[in-house]
Structure 1
Amino acid sequence: MQLEADAREVLPYSFDSCTKALGPLRQTLYSCLTCNPPPKTADAPHTAAGVCYSCSIACHGEHTLVELFNKRNFVCDCGTTRVPSSAPCMLRNDPKTGTKGVHSEEPHPENKYNQNFYNKFCGCSEDYNAEEEKGTMFQCLGLGTAESGGCGEDWWHPECLIGLPRGWYKDFKKEAGENSQAEDDEETPLPPGFPGEDDFETFLCYKCVDSNPWLKRYAGTVGFLPPVYKEGGLPKTTESAPETTTTDVKEEPTNPKKRKMEDEEEGEPTAKRTKEDAENSPSDSKPEPNPATKEEPTQAPPLKNKHDSLPDPVPLGAFSLFLKEDFRDHFCRCCDCYPNLSPHIQLREEEETYEPPISEDGEANGGGSTGTGSLLDRGEAALSNIDRVRAIEGAMVYNHLRDKVKEFLKPFAETGKAVGAEDIKAYFEKLRGDEQHIRDAAGQASALSGKDDNDDSDDNHEGDGRREQNGY
């Protein structure tokens, strides 16, 4: 079914089991703002909590969630004292009773939390709103917690990394005299002074770099971009451009292909002079200083550690460090430098991120057994277990909603006009006030259920009872 395919595209993974039993993982996390609402003030006490992918659906599916994406070394908090006991983990069994629904367990003491768990992101600590956010945010690789001076794998606005205000693009368009009428549909580009997305693989924000100052020496070396300063971004290269050009001109003769082309163009005169010199003065051609010259490069230079080749004057000021794909290959791992690397596995090797198993379709799982069936199978199983009156009411309300949405979309389809976010928002606000149709549907369902009670006492009407279930 198309609806099931659409649902699987949004929720591709199985959500049968909580990851708490697997211990600390780098995994996708969610913060439940219903169970753990953000504090009203920064100083107010607050208990943060993160739940795994499966628990976000099975245990908090009707709550307000914030997707935090990947966080390392984290154990799911669902069913622990960090989450209210009114929202137990329905994927784990209570060890005392053996029934589903665990609460008030001890959380993992090594879990670390930052402002993301309160729905605040970036150095500007702005609340994230997916509908209003424009442009791209980037996640810091993270080298420490908020307590240790790092950011805790926070997400950053590009402009906030280089000292520009959040509304820099609007101001830029106003100064340029451009029409800002299409701002709502326009993506905010990367600000000037920020590296291009294809130029780096990941980055370390200025907080993480400041808390690990030994990293600053790598800025601008192989595998690392030049420092991206907190105030101003990438350094301007206009002054160094002539130097680069001069260097290129000097290096041209060292290219063997170019040298060969030049030799071929002047080949004949050079060959003639060589033959004449060889015939007239053979002794002049014997003493060659080349052997002595060739022997010098053969002497291997003394072995050096990588940190010996790093720039000695460390760049000053606060800056972020942008890393290329092979940056891990260029860290010095000598006995003096390795202690700086050892606490950070993300700098030494690429991390593995846990992903739940892909959700299989119903046929691949034997027609939808409990806990392993497709989304359609689970929906049918859940529907068969709820009260009959509620099932009929739900099916009728769904049909009513479907028809109303079709009516809403019909004018857009006929005119070819795109459906905007404000159109949908306004429509559903209006729909929420349409209580009369909902009451009518509920009353009709009650009448049908009363008829079904009479049908159950009369075997001759068994067929009518089956037809009443066609709504779902």
Structure 2
Amino acid sequence: MSEEDNTDITTNVTNEIREDSLDESDAVTLTLNEVLELEDELIENTAAVLGAANDKTCSYIEGYLKRQALYSCLTCIPEAKNDAEKGAGICLACSYHCHDGHDLVELYTKRNFRCDCGNSKFPNLECNLYNEKNEVNELNSYNQNFTGMYCVCHRPYPDPEDPVPDEMIQCIICEDWYHTRHLGTEVPSNNFAEMICESCVTKHEFLLHYDEFGLKQFPHAAEESKAEEKDPLSLDDENTEESTTEEKEELTSYCKKPVDKSQKVCAKFWVDVNWRKALCTCDECLKTYENEDVAFLLDSEDPVHLYEEKGKAKAKEIVENHDRTFMNSLNRVQLVDCIAGYNDLKEHLAEYLKKFAESKKIVREEDIREFFDGMNARKKQRVDVPHFCR
């Protein structure tokens, strides 16, 4: 490892542990364990949102993707700041290759969207990655997020004028983000899988028939269990098979939506990740979902957490393949030196930082620089070849 490499590592480490402040001379207030946790969280969150996205090819050629990371460019379309319908969504690759250095709004992920870059919404821009696009993506939908605004308070996030620290939660139907204090109801103390805002609950009345905190036991589980017990494929008698098939069809057409209806119209939090399976799929309910444009609730691939898991898995695979390719490119001597150097760095860094973790002391920039200065000194001692006169 060269001195330049060590300097880069030092910079990266110190940047991770330095707090944002007006006075850069302020002492760092993070412990070593907190630094490691924040770094792991940063890597995981980045992989969750972007890990499954292609950063070199415009996603337009893939059509309307079920879910993808998107951005809104306020440099190319400044009028979008005041009108969401004039806004446009661009994919990850176009944000790099067509809008580098622009004022971009990160939209996290959106469902059933096709990249707008270079179409009629951008009168003065052509897509550098794919220019054979339709003038308009008619199935795309736009909300206030494309203007850089969120929640019922219609404010940016983070909001420099908001002194109250607050988390934001995304509604799985309208996909807008809401401050927890603006949801109109108490956020459950236990973990929840998904949230639907009050506005969407009001708009989609059928949701009032389902348990407010996510059904822990599906209302039609008993009927499904009985249907499985009467599996026609396990019966030999033709008459019995026909009878059982008719019973199954009758069960399928029977509405399983709970009769009771909540009188409290507010944001709903769903505890069970499988709560969507509780939704009735009879003909009448299916027609309701289609008419109200929420049929995606029945799509097993729609939930954000599944998209995130796929992104994490892909990112992990890329890293592992990259490491494997790098290791295979080394000859035996280089490989042994590389492994020895890594183990040496790991051993000494762990030993050096152990005292900070045990005493719960903060790690300062000068501490990290001191460590790498010491490593450089040790390296020079090992590689300096003495010269002898003969």
Length-normalised TM-score, structure 2:
0.52
Aligned: 1:137 with 2:168: yes
Tell me the residue number matched to 1:162.
184
How high is the sequence identity, in percent, across the aligned residues? Answer: 30
Q: Structure 1 residues 304, 72: closer, same or farther in 2, change over 3 A? A: closer
State the AA in 2 paired with 1:336: E
- Equivalent residue for 2:215, pick from 223, 231, 248: 223
Tell me the residue number matched to 1:350.
300
Tell me the residue number matched to 1:18.
58
Aligned: 1:210 with 2:202: yes
Q: Structure 1 residues 126, 221: closer, same or farther in 2, change over 3 A? A: closer
Separation in structure 2 between the aligned mates of residue 220 and residue 40 of structure 1, nearest angstrom: 35
Separation in structure 1 between the aligned mates of residue 278 and residue 150 of structure 2, nearest angstrom: 31
Q: Name which one, 1 or 2, has greater alpha-carbon Rg.
A: 1
Aligned: 1:91 with 2:134: no
What's the secondary structure of 1:88's corresponding residue? coil
Aligned: 1:32 with 2:73: yes
State the AA in 1 paired with 2:198: Y
Deviation, 1:88, is 2.5
Q: Structure 1 residues 363, 305: closer, same or farther in 2, change over 3 A? A: closer
Q: Structure 1 residues 135, 308: closer, same or farther in 2, change over 3 A? A: same
What's the secondary structure of 2:282's corresponding residue? coil
Deviation, 1:83, is 1.9
User: For the aligned residues, what is the CA RMSD?
Assistant: 4.1
Q: Structure 1 residues 14, 325: closer, same or farther in 2, change over 3 A? A: closer
- Equivalent residue for 1:340, pick from 288, 311, 316: 288
Aligned: 1:327 with 2:275: yes
Separation in structure 2 between the aligned mates of residue 81 and residue 124 of structure 1, nearest angstrom: 31
Deviations 1:282-323 (A, max 9, x none): xxxxxxxxxxxxxxxxxxxx98988567253x2235311222
- Equivalent residue for 1:196, pick from 170, 181, 189: 189
State the AA in 1 paired with 2:189: G
State the AA in 2 paired with 1:201: A
Separation in structure 1 between the aligned mates of residue 257 and residue 99 of structure 2, nearest angstrom: 53
Deviation, 1:211, is 1.0
- Equivalent residue for 1:116, pick from 130, 145, 170: 145
Tell me the residue number matched to 1:169.
none
Separation in structure 1 between the aligned mates of residue 72 and residue 143 of structure 2, nearest angstrom: 11
Separation in structure 1 between the aligned mates of residue 102 and residue 285 of structure 2, nearest angstrom: 47
Tell me the residue number matched to 1:106.
135
What's the secondary structure of 1:31's corresponding residue? strand
Deviation, 1:224, is 6.8
- Given that residues 306 and 331 in structure 1 are in contact (C-alpha distance below 8 angstroms), is that contact kept between their aligned partners in structure 2? no
Structure 1 portions without partners, runs of 5+: 96-103, 143-151, 164-192, 226-301, 366-411, 417-472
Separation in structure 2 between the aligned mates of residue 155 and residue 221 of structure 1, nearest angstrom: 19
Aligned: 1:57 with 2:96: yes
What's the secondary structure of 1:319's corresponding residue? coil
Describe how 1:238-249 pairs up with structure 2 within 5 A: none
Separation in structure 2 between the aligned mates of residue 29 and residue 210 of structure 1, nearest angstrom: 28
Deviation, 1:348, is 1.3
Q: Structure 1 residues 37, 318: closer, same or farther in 2, change over 3 A? A: farther
State the AA in 2 paired with 1:136: E
What's the secondary structure of 2:111's corresponding residue? strand
State the AA in 1 paired with 2:188: P
Separation in structure 1 between the aligned mates of residue 109 and residue 266 of structure 2, nearest angstrom: 24
Tell me the residue number matched to 1:70.
109
Q: Structure 1 residues 40, 320: closer, same or farther in 2, change over 3 A? A: closer
If asked which structure has higher relative contact order (CA below 8 Å, sep 6+), I would say 2
Deviation, 1:329, is 2.3
